[in-house]
Amino acid sequence: MTEPFLSARNVHVYFQLPGGGRLHAVRGIDLDLFRGETVAIVGESGAGKSAFAKAILHLHQLPFTPNRTKIEGSVSLNAPFSADLVRAGDDVIRDARARAVGMIFQDALSALNPVHRIGNQIEEALRQVEPGIDRESAMNQVYNIVRAIGLPDPERAIRAFPHQLSGGQCQRVMIAIAAVRFPVALIADEPTTALDVTVQAQILMLLKSIQDVRGMGMLFISHDLGVVAEIADRVAVMYAGEIVEIGTSAKVFSAPEHAYTRALLASRPGMGSRRRPTDPAAIGSTKKTGGKAKSAPVLTTDKVSFGYRSRLFGRGSHRFVLQDVSLDIEPGEVHGLVGESGSGKSTFGRLALGFLKPDSGSIKTCGTTPYAVRGVHRRDLRRNVQVVYQDSATALNPRMSLGHSAAEGLVINGMALEDAREEVHRLFDRVRLPTALMNRYPHEVSGGQRQRVCIARAIATKPKLLIADEPVTALDVSVQAQILDLFGELQAELGLAMLLISHDLGVVRELSCKVSVMHNGRIVETGSTADVFDHPRTAYSQKLISSIPGQNSPLDKVAVRTTMAGKG
């Protein structure tokens, strides 16, 4: 076999802790990256995936992060020049970042400069390759690059600022900036996590096409096993800072050897469904009508439309986000709402909460018009309808302990502080959090633990409807599985209805009993989860479901096999 572009041997990474001592984050990693090869690193949060990748280019050091680190071992760069990156000086590292190894981060919007136009940022990267290029030639190349990465209206995109592009478009720009310098390798750290499945598929296709044309190696870090199955040649599984298993994608996914790998594969949601929501027909409030029990929907909308108004230079414009949306959710029903970014899913959730007023149509949440309620009726609505957001870090008050955050709704609704404290003990037990965490603050716990606190706070008031907007997207598969199990148990125990908004179709398939597909502000299909996923009727639903990464791969076969073994 030819010599690898990049070769890591016995790499250790230590973080200095503020109070003294150090954390051993990466423990003796050996890894090679060859021309044209994609090596994926998978594992749960805290396994050391990003710590290892950032150590290659010294991205743990100032000014990138305030944490000082110590790196031991060797990372040999064999092309386009020879160097040991662990012991290299600043000039060599800058040269490696500019000419040898490109880096793509998860949050493209925060990685791009918010005050510079897209064209200028691509031009800056281009000038590192061709310092003497004249302005006209540089802008011609920038135009060709923007057109090649598939941005609509390249002339407008070049003049745009990052906030004026979508997440998927910003990620394309990041890929262009990383690849324009003709590196021998790309490090892609969770490059598609926040994107919906169709944009995700486009980004993966773009990465592979650039890799094929340039012959680059790619180190791909992800907690999405479906994406890894789609793109990786080899897979390295990390746990507690070590690689516990490495092999070809087919081998690792079809015949995992390590117990941790098997547990990780069994945690993947969607294709081998483990959680079955309780039948809503057996749950919920009923009204006696003519001797028959009739359910009262907790959410009902009839031909709801909504648009955002803007005024620029005296001219008003109105852009519709939702059009003629009709949807009912019965007591105890978990209703999934899926679609691409910008389809109107989150806007619909805000309408159901009463944060927005529809332009036309009617909406009833728990029997009331949510945007019109006032006084005590509004407090009743807030008690009956709760929400869990994607970003638990911003959903919790950083100056408030976790226990106080969970008790906040109880105190607002009149419960005595001592009684609320006792109830929070029960809530922490219910969401499987140690009560010792009640006195900690959000930054002192993991993302999965913060999300459990958000769930505890949401169910504290015993709501009738829970609106979950991308509640597990940012979590790794093992924590994701725990949160989904928790949602399933709470739905069965409490009989609460859920509106599950997500672009992760595996999560929706696993937790929902009914699904609505939204496209360009309209619901194009509604039906049972099995019908929509197995027999989609509309062309858009078929396109959306066919974009799920990892289908028909060894990953799905082992997921189903592991699940069946667990049941036996």
Burial class (CB in 10 A: 0-12, 13-18, 19+), 170: buried
Contact present, 193 and 477 (Cβ < 8 Å): no
Look at residue 502 and give its three-state secondary structure. Answer: coil
Match 């040999």 to its residue by tokens: 76
pLDDT by 10s per residue, the chain, length 568:
578 989 999 999 998 776 677 889 899 999 999 999 999 999 887 788 888 998 998 887 655 555 578 899 999 999 888 999 999 988 999 888 888 898 888 777 778 899 999 999 999 988 887 888 898 999 999 998 888 888 878 888 899 998 888 777 888 888 888 888 778 889 998 888 767 777 788 888 888 888 888 888 999 998 888 889 889 999 999 998 999 999 999 999 999 999 999 988 888 775 444 455 555 554 444 444 444 455 689 999 999 999 877 554 445 556 788 999 999 999 989 999 998 877 889 899 999 999 999 999 999 999 999 999 988 888 899 899 999 987 787 889 989 999 999 999 899 888 898 899 999 999 998 888 888 889 888 888 877 788 889 999 998 998 999 999 888 876 777 777 888 888 888 888 888 899 999 888 888 988 899 999 999 899 999 999 999 999 999 999 998 888 877 666 666 554 444 433 333 3
Half-sphere exposure in the Cβ direction for 534 (13 Å, CA): 6
- What topology is assigned to 6-115+161-266 in CATH? Rossmann fold (3.40.50)
Spell out the domain ranges in the chain: 6-115+161-266, 296-309+316-550
Contact present, 177 and 111 (Cβ < 8 Å): no
- What topology is assigned to 296-309+316-550 in CATH? Rossmann fold (3.40.50)
CA torsion angle 483 484 489 495 (round to 10): 110
Burial class (CB in 10 A: 0-12, 13-18, 19+), 208: middle
In CATH terms, are 6-115+161-266 and 296-309+316-550 the same topology? Answer: yes
Residue whose C-alpha is closest to residue 56's, from 165, 180, 161, 186: 186
**Has this prediction a pTM greater than 0.85?**
no
d(CA 42, CA 256): 13
